[in-house]
Amino acid sequence: MSEKQFCVIGNPIAHSRSPDIHQLFAQQFGHSLSYTRQLATMDTFASTVTGLFRNGLAGANVTVPFKLAAFELASSHSAAALSAQAVNTLIPQADGSLLGANTDGLGLIHDLLRQNCTLKGKRLLLLGAGGAARGVIHNLLEQQPEVIWIYNRTTSKAQQLAQQDERLQAVEAWSDVAAVDGIINATSASLSGQVVPIPEPLLANLEFGYDMMYGTEPTAFMQWLQSRSNAFISDGLGMLVGQAAESYRLWWHSELPSIEPVVTEIRRRLAER
Ligand code: NDP
């Protein structure tokens, strides 16, 4: 069988771990693939994607800042992509059109469940209302939490996001929020070493805290939580691998690749750099 071609498109893109992750999945199945990084600009994104698929590309991942542009380029969409209005996975269809999926939310769910963080009936606090938060709402709601409070620095964005479902509540004042079972940090605050100041009484029953960011060291959010709670705390590397696993499954019509050994291997490689 000839080697299937895939890529990830973003800007910047040189740092992307997606080629490594997909090669590790391919080893699990004995598949052969080529997976490259493609740099684009807003002006060249659509023509780059169209050209690549015309030349036989079997699938593309899309990352910052092109997830909205990919949504617009796709002719049909998965339910999660429709909810997020953003696409991270493009799948060519028999008629030449592109199906847009968003696998970020399932990636998060796989990683939480893998680490025994269950969501059914739970009270959750989602920090942030940007692309990452929007991308996971659909799949979080599928897990049937009791409520998801959404806190965002710019409150109006949280209010807009909360309109999707009655289990979503925008936080206008911290007094709106009771003690929570799980916190998911979908802000980029940890990038600048900052932490959303959550009142400590809300942490009294906390089972888990999850930061979508990851790195070689625990993030600012993880460190802040570690010193205030005995909850289980995770970074977002497993979400990255989980979203890639869902893309892989969609492209190859395979079983879901094993996530855990790939998280371990990518973490090892990150530490080596
Ligand atoms: P966006 O730029 O779309 O949104 C950023 C969000 O963070 C906004 O809600 C913004 O609030 C908030 N924010 C930024 N700085 C601060 C601060 N200092 N204090 C409080 N809030 C802040 O980014 P994304 O949503 O795309 O990404 C968010 C994070 O999630 C990134 O770190 C990204 O790396 C990570 N991510 C990880 C994934 C994974 O697979 N592990 C997948 C996708 C994302 P405001 O609206 O007020 O500006």
Q: What is the pLDDT of residues 215-231, one digit of tens each?
A: 999 999 999 999 999 99
Mutating to test ligand 1, I would choose from 139, 187, 212 the residue with most ligand atoms within 8 A of its C-beta, which is: 187
Contact 220, 190 (CB under 8 A): yes
Q: Which residues are catalytic?
A: 67
Q: Which atom of ligand 1 is nearest to the CA of 188?
A: 32
Number of residues written out for the chain: 273
User: If we measure between CA atoms, which residue out of 217, 268, 219, 218 comes closest to residue 241?
Assistant: 268
CA of 197 from ligand 1 middle (Å) equals 15
Residue nearest to atom 44 of ligand 1 (CA): 132
pLDDT at 40: 98
Using 70 as the pLDDT threshold, list the residues of the chain that sit under it.
Answer: 1
pLDDT at 1: 55
The tens digit of pLDDT for each residue in 140-199 reads 999 999 999 999 999 999 999 999 999 999 999 999 999 999 999 999 998 899 999 999
Number of Cβ within 10 Å of residue 124's Cβ equals 22
State whether the beta carbon of 130 lies less than 6 angstroms from ligand 1. yes
CA of 130 from ligand 1 middle (Å) equals 6
| Residue 93: C-alpha distances to residues 38, 48, 97 (Å) | 21, 18, 5
Contact 32, 1 (CB under 8 A): yes
pLDDT at 224: 97
Q: Which two tokens stand for residue 228?
A: 């205030």
CA of 273 from ligand 1 middle (Å) equals 24
State whether the beta carbon of 117 lies less than 6 angstroms from ligand 1. no
State whether the beta carbon of 212 lies less than 6 angstroms from ligand 1. yes
CA of 140 from ligand 1 middle (Å) equals 17
pTM of the model: 0.96
State whether the beta carbon of 213 lies less than 6 angstroms from ligand 1. yes
Per-residue DSSP letter, 123: E
Angle at 67 between CA 219 and CA 216, to 5 degrees: 20
pLDDT at 273: 75
Greatest extent of the chain over all pairs of C-alpha atoms, in Å: 60
